Copies of this chain bind each other. A is one copy, B any other.
């Protein structure tokens, strides 16, 4: 077990906070830990039919590149996980899920963040009219499971939650 002695500094964004803490290690020595206090998050593998899913293209500031990912986002205060799934799907793709099913919950960056991502699969109905949040998303694409798996294998998909979602549906987890 490691215990906080004191916080040396912190950074606040609207949704989460980064702390730099002085801590004691299990052997009694002291060290410093960076810890991001992050809300729960959801990610969705949205099936438009049994062989195809929706994915979103977006710019990722931290890695300075555009990526192809499954829709995802933070659970807002007072919101249930199911509500967050429907809201994020609507914001990022313009669609709602008709059914949702949990796939896996995991810690993406356990060394420095308490973020937990709950990944669900969902069935969605493609409608003719749709809008999505153009501040965050540049395109919504229909991708076959086969192509998604290929992109995981050849390194074109490099986002952790997207890789886990695609591997889980291929393993029928």
Chain A residues within 8 Å of B, Cβ to Cβ: 1-2, 4, 8-14, 16, 18, 20-21, 23, 25-27, 29, 31-36, 59-64, 66-67, 69, 104-116, 134-136, 138, 152-153, 155, 158-160, 163-164, 167-168, 170-171, 173
Contact = CB atoms under 8 A, between A and B. Distances in A.
A27 to B, nearest CB: 5
A138 B66 CA distance: 39
Main secondary structure of the interface of A (DSSP, over half): mixed
B1 A11 contact: no
A88 to B, nearest CB: 13
B114 A1 contact: no
B23 A35 contact: no
A20 B27 contact: no
Contact of A13 (B34, B109, B116): B34
Contacts of A136: 25
A14 B2 contact: no
B110 A67 contact: yes
Contacts of A61: 2, 4, 21, 23, 33, 35
A86 to B, nearest CB: 20
B163 A106 contact: yes
